[in-house]
Amino acid sequence: MKPAPRSAEPRMYRVVAERIRELIQDQQIPPGARLPPERELAATLQVSRATLREALIALELGAVIEIRGGSGVYVGAQPSTSAEVPEAGPGPFEVLSARSVIETEVAALAARNASPAALDAILEALLAMEHSHEDRSTNEAADRAFHLAIAHATGNAALVGVIDQLWRQRGSIWHRLKQHYRTEELRLATLLDHRAIFDAIAARDESGARKAMRAHLQRVTRTFGAARTAPPAPQAQAGLL
């Protein structure tokens, strides 16, 4: 008899989200109360800032909390005690980590194998990003097209499928996280990163392409994981945890 399949372990950010939601409920923290800063929460829960941030975004999507940029994290006006934490798949930082492993080598292989037509496709996507900064959906589509064009430039259809699948795993938590950080500075930094990646691929510089892609993905990870909320006002902070 075949052994019963093991149930998938819950993602860590979902576990942390449930712990925070339970504590809000158990301690009867009122709507509108400010929670401790992320640094303090991460230390108390003994998790990374990245995992905590994913958990907070999941709770925000469930209307349990409200994240106010530059101010802090607050209990929602009508916090739900039963709403599902969205998504059971990998969190944004897991996807970024996987992309850093895979896309760095894809970029190097593209530098080795790209045909003139493939280089034109990468450049076309890059120019589309540069010209569509006011249209977020178009800019997002051009960003995806840029990375897929690099995968196509390798000449390996399996790698194209892998990169496509990685991009499909960027769900609602990723998009809400990106909303909190969508700034002109981030857009310009991304364009500079993409230009450096393209230049290295066009120059057939495998090492340079690998380094440029790694630097790009590491910068995105640092940006999304950086401290964002301001120190809480003493009179407003809840005594959570």
Q: pLDDT by residue (tens digit) across 184-197?
A: 777 888 899 999 99
- Locus of tokens 């819950």: 10
Q: Which of 168-182, 188-202, 220-234 has the lowest mean pLDDT?
A: 220-234
Question: 51: which 2 tokens?
Answer: 């995992």
Is the per-residue pLDDT at 110 higher than 70?
A: yes
Bigger pLDDT: 118 vs 28: 118
The pLDDT score that the predictor gives to residue 86 is 56
Is-contact 216 204, C-beta < 8 A? Answer: no
Is the per-residue pLDDT at 178 higher than 50?
A: yes
The pLDDT score that the predictor gives to residue 232 is 39
Q: Find the DSSP H helices in the chain.
A: 12-26, 38-45, 49-61, 92-113, 116-131, 136-153, 157-168, 172-181, 184-202, 206-225
> What is the mean predicted confidence (pLDDT) over 8-26?
81
Domain ranges of the chain: 92-225
The pLDDT score that the predictor gives to residue 233 is 40
pLDDT band at 122 (very low <50, low <70, confident <90, very high): very high
Bigger pLDDT: 104 vs 184: 104
> What is the mean predicted confidence (pLDDT) over 51-78?
84
Question: 87: which 2 tokens?
Answer: 């998504």
- May I ask the CATH class of domain 92-225? mainly alpha
The pLDDT score that the predictor gives to residue 159 is 97
Burial class (CB in 10 A: 0-12, 13-18, 19+), 158: exposed
pTM of the model: 0.74
Bigger pLDDT: 19 vs 160: 160
Is the per-residue pLDDT at 45 higher than 70?
A: yes
Question: 169: which 2 tokens?
Answer: 């795993």
